[in-house]
Amino acid sequence: MNDKRPYDIVLFGATGFTGGLTAEYLARHAPASLRWALAGRNRGKLEAVRKRLAAIRPELGTLPLLDADSGNPASLRSVAESTRVVITTVGPYLLHGEPLVAACAAAGTDYVDLTGEPEFVDRMWLGYHEQAQRSGARLVHCCGFDSIPHDLGVMFTVQQLPQGVPLRIEGFVRAGGRFSAGTYHSAINAMARLREASQVLKQRIGREGRPQGRRIGAAGSGVRRDKDLGGWVVPMPTIDPQVVKRSASMLDRYGPDFRYSHYVQLKSLSQVAMLGGGIGAIVALAQFPPTRRWMLGRKQSGEGPDEARRARSWFRVRFVGEGGGKRVVTEVSGGDPGYGETSKMLAESALCLALDPLPKVAGQVTTAVAMGDALMQRLQKAGIEFKVVEST
């Protein structure tokens, strides 16, 4: 049925900064046969993006433009019914994302986004996972730096370890670059809703249950100095470990007892203290509307660093895995995490869903479950490195 739709991919949010980078990536790297379109509420801004894309590939001067507004569910249903895959960069997703998820779940349309908001992901599972299973839609959240390097990096590490044995993996993140305004706004809003997020998570756990005959949990301890890494490691309270554990619960290859913990890597104890104090202050300020509005105003959506700044940015995630008497160290690395590589990961995720032979799954699923090796191979060809550093 989906093959009869006029488009393979529709990008919603191309007039934003990260959305524009995603559109440019597709213009440079999508096959000429790809049927795609831009969607948004401001026709003038969409035409400006299309003009920019035509400078990259002249034939894109006639790229279709679709009217869509997150406040108009009917327009989103029309978009979802016209395409096989929808990409959305319109956030914060908790505020603007649900109508498009609902439209894709109903239409049997695959969906990818950039969210790192746990409450949004859990709410969408509660609301639309079962409907998407019935319609055949694959709802794949977190298709940027949150959480592809970590989700696929752990999958890659698991593949280096023995099968059918308990596995323990720790991930350590280092990065140099700026977070996008969308990520910043999402984080502030999430910190203001910690209680609500906890309640939604409990509802999901109650309905989802645990994998039968297998155990999934945390691997490590708290703040500590790691001699092998030459610095301090601090548990990283992001959505990434949740995504990894959900992949583990759906994939038997992760073994009968899988443990994962996720850390940010810092050079000194003073950096640890600054990070802890900074997060504590932001959480406190986010609880009050006036200070929350002030913090949100510090970064404007649609803004981002210039190309030179992005070219200097980087990320590196190291994984240490153990199981069945074997120890392996792997690494996933790339360029600018907040913008360049995130737009690349998002675009390649959509291309993978639209064009590649993939496992027969549906519902809300992770990148490892929905795309796995196919997406990892795409990202490797696109310049994101997955490598084994050490194996004993």
Q: Residues 1-32: pLDDT tens digits?
A: 456 899 999 999 999 999 999 999 999 999 99
Q: What integer pLDDT is reported at residue 208 of this predicted model?
A: 92
Domain map (residue ranges) of the chain: 2-145+341-375, 148-337+384-391
The residues, any chain, with a CB within 8 Å of residue 230's CB and separated by 6 or more, are: none
Q: What integer pLDDT is reported at residue 349 of this predicted model?
A: 98
Q: What integer pLDDT is reported at residue 2 of this predicted model?
A: 54
Give the CA radius of gyration of the chain. Answer: 20
Q: Length of the chain, please?
A: 392
Q: What integer pLDDT is reported at residue 1 of this predicted model?
A: 44
Pairing of strands 167-176, 215-217: unpaired
Tell me how crowded residue 312 is: count the other CB atoms within 10 A of its CB. 11
Is there a contact between 82 and 103 (Cβ–Cβ < 8 Å)?
Answer: no
Task: Tokens for 70, please give them.
Answer: 């997150």
pTM: 0.93
Q: What integer pLDDT is reported at residue 191 of this predicted model?
A: 79
Cα–Cα dist 49/22, whole Å: 11
Q: What integer pLDDT is reported at residue 212 of this predicted model?
A: 87
The three-class DSSP label of residue 265 is strand
Right CATH for 2-145+341-375 from 3.40.50.720, 3.50.50.60, 3.40.50.300, 3.40.50.2300: 3.40.50.720
Our CA dihedral for 139, 12, 57, 83, rounded to 10 degrees, sits at 50
Tokens 């981002």 map to which residue? 304
Q: What integer pLDDT is reported at residue 301 of this predicted model?
A: 63
Our CA dihedral for 312, 183, 14, 18, rounded to 10 degrees, sits at 0
Q: How far apart are the first and last CA of the chain?
A: 49
Q: What integer pLDDT is reported at residue 132 of this predicted model?
A: 98
Average per-residue pLDDT for the chain: 92
Q: Residue ranges of the chain with pLDDT lower than 70?
A: 1-3, 178-182, 301-305
Cα–Cα dist 239/118, whole Å: 6
* Separation of CA 243 from chain center: 9
